[in-house]
Amino acid sequence: MKKLLTIALLVLGFTSANAQGYLSFYQLRDIVPQTSGIQPAFIPDNSLTISMPAMNFGVMLQGDLELQQLLSRPAGQTDLTVDFDLLHEAAQEENFLNLDVTVNLFHLGIKTKHGAFSLFANARATFDFAYGQGLTDFLANGNANSIGETIDFSDTQIRAEAYQEIGIGYARKFLGERLTVGARAKLVTGIFHASLADGASGTLTTAADDFSWQIAIQNGTANTAGLDLLFNSDDYADDALTTYALNNENKTVAFDFGAKFKPLKWLEVEASVNDIGSIDWKEQVRNYNTADTVATFSGLDLEGLQDSGEVFKDSLENKFRSNETRSAFSTSLPTRVYLTASAYLTERDRFSLTYFQSSALNNLPANYALAFNHRFDKFVIGVLGTHRRSNNETNIGANLGTNIGPLQLYMALDNVLVLNKPEQYSKADFRFGLNLMFGYKKWRKKSEVANLDEL
């Protein structure tokens, strides 16, 4: 039966799955304490956990196109380049590119009789970019293919930010351990941010007769924080960036909530909502604003024209009223929702289906993962297949958590095949960590305690 399920899962993975961020890591559950960052109701199996400082990290890069479509190699050449024609060919009506880098700076976990406490600190950086075919068509073909038509850039969204968080978490079991509820509260300090304002939109209409441009811009504001400090560091004291990154006014309190419930012996359902909160960006803020405008540009007055390039640029810019302000703004943290249903074929073999949704950008598609894990005494291994939508390639993921003495090593990949010809894949997801884990025996049934003499 196990073999059958495993084979079925692999077949599913090869045919319709694509990897997705941290879903394989999610399957490590209560084996790895850092999973409480995505499901606060996970309670580790040991009494005391201390992470190896800065030795727990994850990187997730995901797009809607293969790497070789983003970084292409023209035939007969050795250098890589960006081929906008290829990008456009690969583009769908709506496209996303996401990058997440997470570093667990510190984690201290203490298990109690009915639950667990945790103290943690993380640093995170995300880049999320959404674009439509209008943008790729324009980059690849210009506007000459759209004469007499409107190119709509309004579905372009961009958001990049970095922040650090420090917080505490607590999870507790109820109903005879059938129900576990967890929550984390964290102080989030924003460091860098750049995003287009909500509702930012732009269109370019090229007139059929004289090619004149009608450019419409609404809510044309780009909000940034910390970037001036980053890019114009010469204007600041040497330690200004460090001081700013550690402590500034861009603070908020955010929460993670999670719960898991086992209504049947073989069935377990889980839900978590992470990163609930918003950052009020107050320090190092720069807003680049363009007033709502519908401008028609019909070219220049060619009479006596000198230095046409500069005049063209100035004339176009003068159609718009732009300014730079330093007004505080607020952004919601990219809330992440995980919903999981697990079927236990045995106590050690779990078959689970996970739904993941991020709110980093509007309309980000949900992700689904189908996973199988087998648990040994101190190890867990698993394979999974994930799915976001039908345009991506087929992948499988894998995860491993093992304890060697007090040292725990874990790693998880949503896409293990990325190691072989990574240019053929559209995402890479890797999570790795080292922890010091103490006090397993206390929480095991005596029958589960291994007799070393028998080994």
Partner 1 sequence: MKRFLLACLVCLTIAAVPSCDLKYFESTEFGDIVFDPSLAIPVGTITYTVAELFEELNDGGAVIAPNGEDVVTLTYTETLQSQSASGFLTVLDQSFGSSLVSGTDLSNPPVETTISISELYEFDLTQTADEDYDSIIFNAGSFDFNASSNIGADVDFTATFISLENATGPIVITGSLPSGGANFVQSESLVNGKGLFHLDDQGNPASSKFLVRIAYNITVGPTNSITADQQVSFTIGINNTSFQTVYGNVGNQSLTVGQQDISLDFFSTFDSGDITFADPTVRFIFDNSFGFPLGIDFQQITAVSGTGTNIPLQGTVVDNLQVVNAPSVSQQGQVVRTEIEVTANNSNIDALLSSKPTRFLVDVGAESNPATAPASYNFIDDSNLLDVSVEIEIPLELNINGLIAEEVVDFSNGDDLAEAKRLLFRVIAENELPLGGLVELQFRDGSGAVIYTVDERPAFTAAAVGVDGRTNEVAMSTVDILIPEEGIRIIENAASINVVATLTTTDAQNATAVKFFNDYELRFKLAVQADVEVNSNGN
Instruction: List 398's β-bridge partners, or say none.
Output: 383, 413
In 3D space, the residue among 243, 139, 156, 151 whose CA is nearest the CA of residue 206 turns out to be 151
Cβ distance to partner 1 smaller for residue 190 or 382: 382
Cβ distance to partner 1 smaller for residue 245 or 413: 413
Report the residue from 12, 52, 59, 80 that binds partner 1 according to the rule CB under 8 A: 80
Q: Write the binding mask 50 to 69 for partner 1: x where contact by CB under 8 A, - elsewhere.
A: ------------------x-
Per CB under 8 A, contacts with partner 1 among 112-131 are none
Residue 153 as a binder of partner 1 (CB under 8 A): the answer is no
Residue 455 as a binder of partner 1 (CB under 8 A): the answer is yes
Question: How many angstroms separate the most distant Cα atoms in the chain?
Answer: 97
Shortest Cβ 233–partner 1 spacing (Å): 25
Per CB under 8 A, contacts with partner 1 among 410-429 are 416-417, 419-423
Residue 141 as a binder of partner 1 (CB under 8 A): the answer is yes
Cβ distance to partner 1 smaller for residue 14 or 174: 14
- Give whole-number Cα distances, 29 to 25, 69, 254, in Å: 8, 35, 22
Residue 277 as a binder of partner 1 (CB under 8 A): the answer is no
Cβ distance to partner 1 smaller for residue 79 or 310: 79
Residue 400 as a binder of partner 1 (CB under 8 A): the answer is yes
Residue 11 as a binder of partner 1 (CB under 8 A): the answer is no
Report the residue from 117, 129, 138, 255 that binds partner 1 according to the rule CB under 8 A: 138
Cβ distance to partner 1 smaller for residue 219 or 315: 315
Q: How many CB atoms lie within 10 A of CB 256?
A: 26
Per CB under 8 A, contacts with partner 1 among 193-222 are 206-207, 209-213
Residue 14 as a binder of partner 1 (CB under 8 A): the answer is no
Sequence-separated (6 or more) residues with CB below 8 Å from residue 58: 22, 25, 100, 101, 102, 429, 430, 431, 432
Residue 140 as a binder of partner 1 (CB under 8 A): the answer is yes
Cβ distance to partner 1 smaller for residue 365 or 406: 406
Report the residue from 45, 83, 165, 256 that binds partner 1 according to the rule CB under 8 A: 83
Helix (H, G, I), strand (E, B) or coil at 303: coil
Shortest Cβ 382–partner 1 spacing (Å): 10
| Among the residue ranges 72-80, 101-109, 160-168, 353-361, the one whose residues contact partner 1 (CB under 8 A) | 72-80
Residue 70 as a binder of partner 1 (CB under 8 A): the answer is no
- Among left, alpha and beta (phi > 0; psi -120 to 50; other), residue 22 is left
Q: How many CB atoms lie within 10 A of CB 226?
A: 25
Residue 376 as a binder of partner 1 (CB under 8 A): the answer is yes
- Tokens read off for 309: 């390039």
The DSSP secondary-structure symbol of 77 reads: -
C-beta separation of 34 from 50 below 8 A: no
Q: Which helix (H) or strand (E) holds 228?
A: helix 227-231
Shortest Cβ 54–partner 1 spacing (Å): 25
Cβ distance to partner 1 smaller for residue 318 or 325: 318
Cβ distance to partner 1 smaller for residue 106 or 379: 379
- C-alpha 194/C-alpha 190 separation (Å) is 11
Cβ distance to partner 1 smaller for residue 87 or 194: 87
- C-alpha 361/C-alpha 6 separation (Å) is 35
C-beta separation of 148 from 212 below 8 A: no
- Give whole-number Cα distances, 118 to 114, 182, 311, 330, 333, in Å: 14, 11, 61, 28, 21
Residue 90 as a binder of partner 1 (CB under 8 A): the answer is no
Residue 379 as a binder of partner 1 (CB under 8 A): the answer is yes
- Tokens read off for 425: 């894949």
Per CB under 8 A, contacts with partner 1 among 294-323 are 297-303, 305
Shortest Cβ 278–partner 1 spacing (Å): 36
Shortest Cβ 223–partner 1 spacing (Å): 28
Residue 453 as a binder of partner 1 (CB under 8 A): the answer is no
- C-alpha 123/C-alpha 245 separation (Å) is 11
Catalogue the E-assigned strands of 211-250. Answer: 213-218, 220-225
Alpha carbon 303 to its chain centroid, in Å, reads 53
- Tokens read off for 80: 């890589």
Shortest Cβ 109–partner 1 spacing (Å): 23
Residue keyed to tokens 């909500």: 198
Which string of b and e fits 427-441 if b means at least 16 CB within 10 Å?
bbbbbebebebeebe
First-to-last C-alpha distance (Å) of the chain: 27
> What is the contact surface with partner 1 in residues (CB under 8 A)?
68, 71, 73, 77-85, 138-145, 147, 206-207, 209-213, 297-303, 305, 376-377, 379, 381, 383, 398, 400, 402, 416-417, 419-423, 455
